[in-house]
Amino acid sequence: MRRLSGWRGDVLAALGALLVAAVLVLGLGSNGLVDFIIRFGIFGLLVLSLNLLIGTAGLVSFGHAAFFGSGAYAFGLLMQSGGWSVPAAILAALLWSALLALAIGALCVRLSEIYFAFLTLAFQMLIHSMVISWVSLTGGDQGLMGGVPKPPFLGIELARPTHLALFAAACLAVSAVLLRQVIRSPFGVALRMLRDNPQRAAFLGLSVFRYRLGAFVIAGTFAGLSGVLMSLYVSGAFPTFLYWTTSGEALFMIMLGGIGTFLGPLLGAATFLFISDRITAFTEHHGLFFGAVLLLLVLGLRKGMLDWAVEAWRSRRERHKA
Amino acid sequence: MDLGELAACMGSLPCVITQVSAGLTIGLLLFLVASGLTLIFGVLGLVNFAHGTLYMLGAYFALSAYELTESFLVATLAGTLGVAVFGLLMERTLFRRIYGADVLMQLLVCYAVILIMDDVVKIVWGGDFLKMDMPETFRRPPLLIGGGIVPLFYLVLFGITLAVALLLALGMSRTRFGRTVRAAAVNPAMVASLGVNTSFVFAAVFAVGSGLAGLAGALSAPIRSVVPGAGVSILIESFIVTVIGGMGSIGGALAAALLIGLTRSFGSIGFPLFTEGLMFLMMAAILLVKPSGLAGKHLA
């Protein structure tokens, strides 16, 4: 009964957030805001999927952008080939990302901690190199040029920024509800147990391998969706999507917001994008200022913002009780 | 892809010698960076993602020192010692706070350092490609060994790097300080309770590791372009070397660095676009078969 009400609460919250986004996009409609909402949809989805691995399953992946990039390339290539509608191409791109995650995950999830991180990084960079060297298919280091066609479907014209912003926000909202369900389900509980005490879980007869692989595939699939949105946003696909810096940025967003709460990564993504935009607006020395802000936040709080806030609030409540 | 050309090169001795000398140069520079990285990881437990930045600074320090004095010796010393001091300052102010923190925290702090230093370098030296002039002494026609072309500077570089590698290995195994460092890597609390100032030991190790990266940067300045962001590509390759060789092993780092160097130089003939891919393929293969790397997890 409680799980049902939790589920309903999530849907209501997601609908509320979507409504706010719709009012912002349609009501104010400033270009900067629409642009921000699209990017927030993309990176919000990427960090939520990555935090299923990091926060819930305790698997620190350095190669999550492999699935982001593969989703973008698969979608872009299908749309350029003609004859695919947008929803069909999205489904195919998600399936492709899931299969890739299944293959890579089957090799990676056997390793633990830092070795898992390095192996995921190695596979991501391997895919990056393949995309660079397979010029005839992918366009090499130029990326997928010539634009991605976006034929309208069900009255949705993704070529228009406002439609794309609402579509990205809707994808994020639906995915957030689904991912929250995954985390709350017995499967999610098992993942947390594997994170905290893998030996005990193995004694109880849980297959460490299967649960971790399951989480890896789910995370990879949602990262693929985020890549599809990126491909729609920039109307192409570029090798940087698959480069380690993209995985790095997702990790920083998560660290900034906090790994211990569901919404932490989203706060991190919004903060990262916002600070990054602000700094670009007033100085060309983006790295200098952005790095300094990062250092202050990280060394000041020693943890993500939302994790810090939750902890501060809890300890304050304890003190009031005492 | 041009595997035919690679096969043709493998069939001719001059081509093989030229490529091997180029590969050894790449490999030995990589070894200097990776040995510092692996030393810092082995002793301090810190994955120093900002290690490439130290390499880049070494190159810039050497460049400026050479412009002032026209002396290769001064330039090399400036790169090495300057970066060692810089590393020491970073350790005391920043990295000291994140020993034992989880790897994500270390990653974030290092990333901030990379962003800041890349911009600082751009402000001080400008964003253009720079190159240090080849020192007068080494400006001679390249040597012909067995028909292969080997620039004189490469031999100087081999000599310096191998001497440093030997010094490092002997220093770690034979000196009292080396023994203390190895003990502190295994059990810092015990070493501290025996009256050793481990905080000092850690700082010294960080400075030595930084100095090695600075030396590599200084030696690379006459043969590679010096540019902000140069640290990132060397960082990635050093990571491959460290993982293949085994995190914490200096001997393993040497073997892996030479392997990667030769892969790079021969790969540039046969499959220039996929050289990086092949390096990551090797890294993945090692991790799958023997995650602890070629040499396991011991300090040389």
**pLDDT tens, position by position, A42-82:** 999 999 999 999 888 888 888 899 999 999 999 998 888 88
Our count of domains for chain A comes to: 1
For residue B203, being part of any structural domain is answered with yes
In angstroms, the CA B56 to CA B217 distance is 6
Q: Name which of A161-170, A280-289, B71-80, B118-127 the model is least confident about.
A: A280-289
Please report the pLDDT score of residue B296 as a whole number.
64
For residue B294, being part of any structural domain is answered with no
For residue B150, being part of any structural domain is answered with no
Yes or no: say if B253 and B242 are a contact pair by the CB < 8 Å rule.
Answer: yes
For residue B145, being part of any structural domain is answered with no
For residue A263, being part of any structural domain is answered with no
Tens of pLDDT, residue by residue over A214-251, are 999 999 999 999 999 999 898 888 888 888 878 888 98
User: Which domain covers residue B208, as residue numbers?
Assistant: 3-135+160-289
Q: How large a percentage of chain A has pLDDT more than 90?
A: 22
Q: Is B151 strand, coil or helix?
A: coil
What's at B96, amino acid-wise? R
For residue A255, being part of any structural domain is answered with no
Task: Tell me whether B146 touches chain A (CB under 8 Å).
Answer: no
Residues composing chain B: 300
In angstroms, the CA B65 to CA B113 distance is 24
What's at B61, amino acid-wise? F
- In B58-161, the DSSP E strands lie at 143-145, 148-150
Residues of B in contact with A135 (CB under 8 A): 273
Q: What is the mean pLDDT of residues B198-211?
A: 91
In angstroms, the CA A47 to CA A159 distance is 25
In angstroms, the CA B54 to CA B36 distance is 10
DSSP code of residue B134: P
In angstroms, the CA B214 to CA B59 distance is 7
Decide: residue B71, CB within 10 A, 0-12 exposed, 13-18 middle, 19+ buried: middle
Our count of domains for chain B comes to: 1
For residue A211, being part of any structural domain is answered with yes
Which of B1, B118, B236 is facing A287, going by the closest CB pair? B118
For residue A269, being part of any structural domain is answered with no
Tens of pLDDT, residue by residue over A10-23, are 888 888 887 787 77
For this complex, say whether ipTM is above 0.85.
Answer: no
User: Which domain covers residue A191, as residue numbers?
Assistant: 2-244
In angstroms, the CA A16 to CA A178 distance is 16
More confident residue, B254 or A136: B254
Residue with tokens 């989805």: A45
pLDDT band of B55, cuts 50, 70, 90: very high
Yes or no: say if A55 and A259 are a contact pair by the CB < 8 Å rule.
Answer: yes
In angstroms, the CA A186 to CA B201 distance is 48
In angstroms, the CA B215 to CA B289 distance is 33
Round the CA-based radius of gyration of chain A to a whole number and report it. 20
For residue A287, being part of any structural domain is answered with no
CATH number for the domain that contains residue B185:
1.10.3470
CA–CA distances in Å: residue B296 to residues A32, A108, A113, B247, B252? 52, 19, 16, 7, 8
Do residue A123 and residue B284 have CB atoms under 8 angstroms apart? yes
Degrees, nearest 5: CA angle B187-B245-B177: 35
Residues composing chain A: 322
In angstroms, the CA A305 to CA A272 distance is 12
Helix intervals (H) in chain A: 2-22, 31-51, 65-81, 86-108, 113-133, 135-138, 161-184, 186-196, 198-203, 208-234, 244-257, 264-282, 286-301, 305-321
Task: Tell me whether B233 touches chain A (CB under 8 Å).
Answer: no
Residue A151, number of CB atoms within 10 A of its CB: 12
For residue B151, being part of any structural domain is answered with no
CA atoms within 13 A on the CB side of A155: 1
For residue B152, being part of any structural domain is answered with no
Tens of pLDDT, residue by residue over B230-244, are 788 888 888 889 888
What's at A198, amino acid-wise? P
Do residue B280 and residue A298 have CB atoms under 8 angstroms apart? no
Yes or no: say if B294 and B286 are a contact pair by the CB < 8 Å rule.
Answer: yes
Q: Which residues of A touch B (CB under 8 A)?
A: 54, 60, 107, 111, 113-115, 117-119, 121-123, 125-126, 128-130, 132-133, 135, 140, 244, 248, 251-252, 254-256, 259, 285-288, 290-292, 294-295, 298-299, 302
Task: Tell me whether B34 touches chain A (CB under 8 Å).
Answer: no
For residue B143, being part of any structural domain is answered with no
DSSP code of residue B273: G
Yes or no: say if B235 and B57 are a contact pair by the CB < 8 Å rule.
Answer: no
For residue B39, being part of any structural domain is answered with yes
Distant-in-sequence, close-in-space partners of A93: CB < 8 Å, separation ≥ 6: A71, A74, A75, A78, A224, A225, A227, A228
- In B120-247, the DSSP E strands lie at 143-145, 148-150
Which of A135, A244, A287 is facing B119, going by the closest CB pair? A287
Q: What is the mean pLDDT of residues A263-267?
A: 89
